[in-house]
Amino acid sequence: AIQLTQSPSSLSASVGGRVTLTCRASQDISNTLAWYQQKPGKSPKLLIYDASSLESGVPSRFSGSGSGTDFTLTISSLQPEDFATYYCQQFNNYLITFGGGTKVEIK
Amino acid sequence: QVQLVESGGGVVQPGGSLRLSCAASGFTFSNYGMHWVRQAPGKGLDWVAFIGYDGNNKYYADSVKGRFTISRDNSKTTLYLQMNSLRAEDTAVYYCTKSRDWAGWYYFDYWGQGTLVTVSS
């Protein structure tokens, strides 16, 4: 199965700052990648699908890019409600896997 | 609005069985594929299984293949997960999730609140 490696595993950032999270696939997955946000004690929320498409209702400060094996999620201006753990997820050959997550904390 | 409400979790001994249910509302259940995704305490997300809108297509993670069975009853708008031969490593919160759409059936746009399954003697 394809492995997804997220980096960093955690980071500290300030409100208003720009944050870039990385997800690397162990082989080419084209653009079949999504990003989710999970806050403590809550269910995950879909942010981005097909690597760069913004899910309806998600603020435009979130953006995704990449294809093949390297992907990024960028938060252009971090807001207090954005402090959470972010997961990437891929589909290939009828198997779905998630990355290990990146925890975004307040600086 | 879309609601997914899981039930059936609890404590079970290794080797035991449990059946989870997910009651869906707020959308045309019979038009969408559905998944189960789990999360061990303090750990990341782990996809478990998928079932197509009509129940004809089913896919499983290698870790549960042959032990878990996903099914659905469109007349009751309910999703199920039958879990047999349970192991300690199956301990997790189990989420019922809805496929985003037909083209992106492998993305999850709505999640339930989860039900905790604990496998312990």
Touching check for A83 and chain B: CB below 8 Å? no
pLDDT band at B17; cut points 50, 70, 90: very high
pLDDT exceeds cutoff 90 at A107: no
Surface of B (2-21) touching A: CB under 8 A: none
Instruction: Write down the pLDDT at residue A7.
Output: 96
- Let me know: does B30 contact B54? Beta carbons within 8 Å: yes
Does the beta carbon of A50 lie under 8 angstroms from any beta carbon of chain B? yes
**Each residue's pLDDT tens digit, A27-74:** 999 999 999 999 999 999 999 999 999 999 999 999 999 999 999 999
Residue with the two structure tokens 């084209």 = A30
Peptide bond into A8 cis (omega under 30): yes
CA angle, A69 then A75 then A79, to 5°: 155
The answer to whether A39 contacts chain B (CB < 8 Å) is no
Q: Is the pLDDT of residue B35 over 90?
A: yes
Q: Which of B46, B104, B112 sits opposite A49 (nearest CB)?
A: B104
Mean pLDDT (chain B, rounded): 97
Q: What would the mean pLDDT of B48-62 be, rounded to a whole number?
A: 95
The answer to whether residue A80 scores a pLDDT higher than 90 is: yes
Residues contacting B21, CB < 8 A, separation 6+: B6, B7, B8, B78, B79, B80
The pLDDT assigned to A70 comes to 98
Instruction: Tell me the pLDDT of chain A averaged across its residues.
Output: 96
Task: Say whether pLDDT at B103 is over 90.
Answer: no
pLDDT tens per residue across span B60-73: 999 999 999 999 99
Q: What is residue B8's three-state secondary structure? A: coil
Percent above pLDDT 90 for chain B: 95
